Amino acid sequence: MLRQVNNNLLRRANQNPWSCQWYCRRLLTAGARDDTSRIRNMALVAHIDSGKTTLTESILHKSSYLATPGSVDTGSTTTDFLPAERERGITIQSASIPVEWKDWHFNLIDTPGHADFGMEVESASRVVDGAVVLIDSVEGVESQTKGVWRQLDRYNVPTRLMFLNKLDRPGASFKSSLLSLLAHRLHPKPMALSLPIASFSPEDYSRAEPGVHGLVDLVKWEIWKWDDHGASSVSPLPQTVEDICHSEILPFDHPIIPHLAPARIALLENLAMFSEGLMEVLLDLPSGPSSYLGLQAADIMPHLRKATLRNDVLPVLCGSAMKSIGTEMVMNYVGELLPSPMDVRHQIEAADAPLRILAWKVSWDKRRGWMTFVRVYSGTLKRQTSIYNTSSGQKEKVSKVLLLYASEAEEVETLPFGSVGVLLGLKYTRTGDTLVGGRGPTSPKTPQVSLRNIIPPPAVMSASVIPKSHSDLDPVQDALHALSRTDPSVRVDTQEGQILVHGLGALHLEIVEGRLRDEWGVKFEFGGRRVSYREGLGHGTSSNNNEWTTEVAGKPVTVALWMAVTPLSETEHGDPVWDDNLVLGPDGKALPSPDAFRDQQDPMGNIARGIASSLSNSPHTSLAFSHVKVHITGFKFPQEISPSILAGASSAILRDRIRSAGMGPVMEPYIKLKVSVNEDTLGKVVKDLTENGGEVLDLASDAISTASGEEELGAYSTDGVYVPPEELSPSSASSAAANSAVSSPRLKRTIHAVAPLSKMLDYSTRLRALSGGHGLFEMANAGFRTVTGSRKMEILREIGRA
């Protein structure tokens, strides 16, 4: 097997851009991925444009995969290889890439930051064991930072490292970024492991130029310096402040020197709060700061690792991905602190257990056909084996197993437990399916429990797809079917003879349109875009009917289903699994989505299917429902009932209840907006927002000004010292904004607002006109809101129901 790997590597090494250095390293570490304790399955996640792809390029460069890092700005990156990604300079699909670094094998997934491609973050979050979350140090925590943070929570990925990126930018602030983690309640104990050094040249640091040229690693007690080409050098720091002043490492009067010892002492003492072992070590040290400075990293790291894995602390690193400053430190700490598959308790997971894998992404490649990205949760997957899809109930044959280096691939014989790879040859598998070894459900060797599914976020926009001619209908439908297999957040249905494609936003639909044309080559027109509205439960008295009878083979069959159907209360939240409704079983617990019931005979699964069908289509408006709570309290049906009759009866009973309650409120999707304009056009932009149903939430430029009520929280500041809560004031946070205002020729203002998505579809054109071309904006989904009476009439007219 090793020889085959080596031949592949040798062939690849002769091709661009695979460097010889990388080839040598791969030869030495080809076995690393077989040692599960050395695998780190991790994702880079963040708000749009925080620098994930740039950091990925820098990691690929530092790990010798690339001779020089590519750039998002010139469309030359490895992971953003789709034409649409290169043209727009944004990531659209997540790309996984294996990285060999020191003793570790990382499976790194670069994810998109734009909320329209949230499905990609959803599926990446499902299969990783840890994540690096980036923030732009000028902006601090942004709306989608919180979005991806919640996605990681949802898939139970507690172990994260934070990377404060873009410290080279004017207006960047390490301290404000650190404080914004607390202000937005991302984590109560962010712990800075490194400190930035703006400059080593006395002329520059005396003028306090912005930028970053070096970092101090507070754990390893060493100093990193980078030259203008991103090459690094590292030196140990002396154990006394006096020796640091007399060393050549830093100019003797460098302003950071007085902060170094307090920062390390604070780090150790704060960490000791979560580790009795480290507390004992510190108590045994002779008194005086030099004993703290002399403590070896090997004595600290096990405590830091445990505290990180338990999520007691959030390790924070910093640098500039564009200048490759801090990249090696991120890679070192990913290896040292993030969990291996063996550190995480997934459902049933072991190397010697029967094979169980999860398909977390499916994509189509003209050359290779269907490519299924999988993670092995137990056992070992071999090439040319038959596997069984517990979700679709179909057998599949694996023809090839690949490790994918973005668009390049290396063929391997096996994928061991805990690893991530790509399978060729699977014909039916969709994102979220569980695949197992063995011959099928009847075989005792086939594991019966499915892995947790991946849930697409709710669609907020749709467009009609009109085939150019009758002969184009089938190819268009096949292409849409294939596209929704690769991207489950694209949903397709037919309403009144029209094909509708639903997506997560305007950009998402634009990309869908481009992919249908370019990748599948089908001929069609895209009709007008429409936001997806929802209906809520009517306020009338609903019938108490809980029975439904039909005839089977001439005999009556009666199904009874008792349930309470109410709107969600103010304090209740919809479940994304149920498209923002809440469905509870007889035990009062949330019912899983119908897809989660793998056994077709399971009565609860068939009832769930019926409920889902009624909630997806209102008898009054044909809109899907939102914010409805269905609590099933009991059921009765003949034992030999067919699954489809039970599902149909459940659907009919709920539909009857909904119909009798009358038509409910109509809801429409809202978006959060962040608009940045010059001061002189602020008035016009705000007026336009309010005229279009928007609500301005904040005109201050930094999100931290909302940090009220953070009484019990504090943070570790630039010098690593704990900042008490009283210092978490708007003024301490606004220094970054003030800096940028001073260095900017015209005063910029940032507007935070919410607005109905339907009124913002042409916002880029509108804003360009209003701001004289100087405005910038970002959008993120803000959920569904009930509309007023007049707007309801407008919507009903738009959808042809009034």
Ligand X SMILES: Nc1nc2c(ncn2[C@@H]2O[C@H](COP(=O)(O)OP(=O)(O)OP(=O)(O)O)[C@@H](O)[C@H]2O)c(=O)[nH]1
Cβ proximity of 78 and 67 under 8 Å: no
C-beta separation of 701 from 140 below 8 A: no
For ligand X, the binding residue among 112, 379, 610, 665 (CB under 6 A) is 112
If DSSP states are collapsed to H, E and C, what string results for 441-490? CCCCCCCCCCCCCCCCCCCCEEEEEEECCHHHHHHHHHHHHHHHHHCCCC
- Does 54 bind ligand X (CB under 6 A)? Our answer is yes
Residues 6+ apart with CB under 8 A from 730: 700, 702, 704, 705, 707
User: According to the binding rule CB under 6 A, does residue 52 interact with ligand X?
Assistant: yes
Pairing of strands 582-584, 628-636: parallel
* 26 is a site residue for ligand X (CB under 6 A): no
Q: How far is the CB of 90 from ligand X (least distance, A)?
A: 3
* 51 near ligand X (CB under 6 A): yes
Give the binding range for ligand X (CB under 6 A) out of 7-15, 49-57, 239-247, 594-602: 49-57
Residue number with CB closer to ligand X (321 or 767): 321
User: Do 8 and 411 meet the contact criterion of CB atoms below 8 Å apart?
Assistant: yes
Strand ranges inside 166-254, DSSP E: 190-192, 194-197, 214-217, 222-226, 232-236
Place of tokens 């979700």: 391
One symbol per residue from 75 to 94: x for binding ligand X (CB under 6 A), - otherwise; what is it?
A: ---------------xx---
Task: Out of 9, 192, 321, 460, name the contact with ligand X by CB under 6 A.
Answer: 321
**In the complex, what is the shortest distance from the CB of residue 134 to ligand X, in angstroms, rounded to a whole number?**
7
Determine contact, residues 341/129, Cβ cutoff 8 Å: yes
CB atoms within 10 A of CB 347: 14
Binding test (CB under 6 A) with ligand X, winner from 36, 41, 53, 453: 53
* Rounded-to-integer distance, Cα 737 and Cα 607, Å: 55
Question: Least distance in Å: CB of 77 to ligand X?
Answer: 8
Q: Which is nearer to ligand X, 230 or 440 (CB)?
A: 230
Which of 72, 132, 412, 770 forms a contact with ligand X (CB under 6 A)?
Answer: 72
Among 46, 338, 422, 630, binds ligand X (CB under 6 A): 46
Q: Give me the least distance between CB of 281 and ligand X, in Å please.
A: 36
Instruction: Show the tokens assigned to 308.
Output: 């990180």
Q: Which is nearer to ligand X, 169 or 303 (CB)?
A: 169
Examine residue 198 and tell whether it contacts ligand X (CB under 6 A).
no
Least gap, CB of 653 to ligand X (angstroms): 45
User: What gap in Å lies between CA 269 and CA 367, rounded to an integer?
Assistant: 56
Phi and psi, residue 565, nearest 5° = -120, 115
Does position 320 interact with ligand X (CB under 6 A)? The reply is: yes
Strand partners, 463: 501, 529
337 in Cβ contact with 344 (< 8 Å): no
Judged by beta carbon, residue 50 or residue 429, the one nearer ligand X is 50
List the one residue out of 298, 235, 224 whose CA is nearest residue 62: 224
Nearest to 60 by CA among 11, 26, 15, 14: 26
Return the residue nearest ligand X (CB atom): 113
Judged by CB under 6 A, the stretch of 19-27, 62-70, 166-174, 736-744 that binds ligand X is 166-174
**What pairing do the DSSP bridges indicate for beta strands 461-467 and 356-365?**
unpaired
Question: Is 402 one of the binding residues for ligand X (CB under 6 A)?
Answer: no
Tell me: does residue 736 bind ligand X (CB under 6 A).
no
Greatest extent of the chain over all pairs of C-alpha atoms, in Å: 99
SS3 content of the chain, % helix, strand, coil (to 5): 35, 30, 40
Sheet holding 524-531: strands in order across?
491-495, 498-503, 461-467, 524-531
Q: Report, in Å, the least distance between residue 323 CB and ligand X.
A: 6
Could you tell me which stretch among 26-34, 46-54, 329-337, 707-715 binds ligand X (CB under 6 A)?
Answer: 46-54
Q: Is 349 in the site for ligand X (CB under 6 A)?
A: no
Stretch that binds ligand X, among 47-55, 336-344, 503-511, 695-703 (CB under 6 A): 47-55
Is the CB of 52 or the CB of 629 nearer to ligand X? 52
Q: How far apart are CA 183 and CA 732, in angstroms?
A: 12
Residue 204 beta carbon to ligand X: minimum distance, rounded to whole angstroms: 17
Nearest-approach distance from CB 274 to ligand X, in angstroms:
31
Of 145, 151, 165, 378, which lies in the binding site for ligand X, with binding defined by CB under 6 A? 165
Is residue 328 involved in binding ligand X (CB under 6 A)? Answer: no
Site size for ligand X (CB under 6 A): 22
- Helix (H), strand (E), coil (C) string for 100-126: EECCEEEEEEECCCCHHHHHHHHHHHH
Is 166 an interacting residue with respect to ligand X (CB under 6 A)? yes
Q: Which stretch binds ligand X (CB under 6 A): 160-168, 609-617, 640-648, 785-793?
A: 160-168
Across 590-730, the runs of DSSP E, i.e. the strands, are 624-625, 628-636, 666-678, 695-698, 715-716, 722-723
Q: Which residue, 113 or 505, has its beta carbon nearer to ligand X?
A: 113
CB of 681 vs ligand X, minimal distance in Å: 24
User: From the list 69, 70, 98, 113, which residue makes contact with ligand X (rule: CB under 6 A)?
Assistant: 113
Using CB under 6 A, pick the residue from 32, 48, 658, 736 that binds ligand X: 48
3-state SS assignment for residue 12:
helix
Q: Which is nearer to ligand X, 40 or 169 (CB)?
A: 169
Q: Which of 40, 33, 82, 75 is nearest to 54 (CA)?
A: 75
Nearer to ligand X, 162 or 531 (CB): 162
Which residues contact ligand X (rule: CB under 6 A)? Answer: 46, 48-54, 72-73, 90-91, 112-114, 165-166, 168-169, 320-322
